[in-house]
């Protein structure tokens, strides 16, 4: 799933996976059977294109304790 965000700047971004499913089915392309999706500090192996309509990438997060006062 992370490969969909290659080349995206260091800003939050969204990929509409519903459109990817529709395109693959319309053109007879193979759909990935299992895709790993990253969840914070690990990976969740699942058919992400079927499980989600969209995926958001948040490349950087900050805890409030890390912010300068």
Name residue 46's beta-bridge partners: 35
Q: Of 18, 68, 61, which is closest to residue 39 (Cα–Cα)?
A: 61
Looking only at the bridges linking them, the beta strands covering 35-39 and 42-46 are: antiparallel
H-run or E-run covering 13: strand 13-15
Per-residue pLDDT averaged across 57-65, rounded? 76
Q: Give residue limits of the domains in the chain.
A: 9-59
Looking only at the bridges linking them, the beta strands covering 55-57 and 42-46 are: unpaired
**Total count of residues recorded for the chain:** 69
Per-residue pLDDT averaged across 44-57, rounded? 77
pTM of the prediction? Answer: 0.56
Instruction: Look at residue 31 in the predicted model and tell me its pLDDT.
Output: 66
> Mind giving me the DSSP string for 22-43?
HHHHHTTPPPPS-EEEEETTEE
């Amino acid at each position: 799933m992370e490969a969909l965000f290659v080349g995206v700047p260091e800003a939050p971004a969204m990929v509409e996976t519903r459109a990817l499913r529709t395109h693959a089915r319309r053109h007879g392309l193979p759909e990935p059977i299992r895709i790993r999706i990253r969840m914070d500090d690990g990976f969740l192996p699942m058919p992400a294109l079927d499980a989600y309509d969209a995926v958001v990438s948040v490349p950087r997060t900050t805890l409030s304790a890390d912010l300068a006062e």
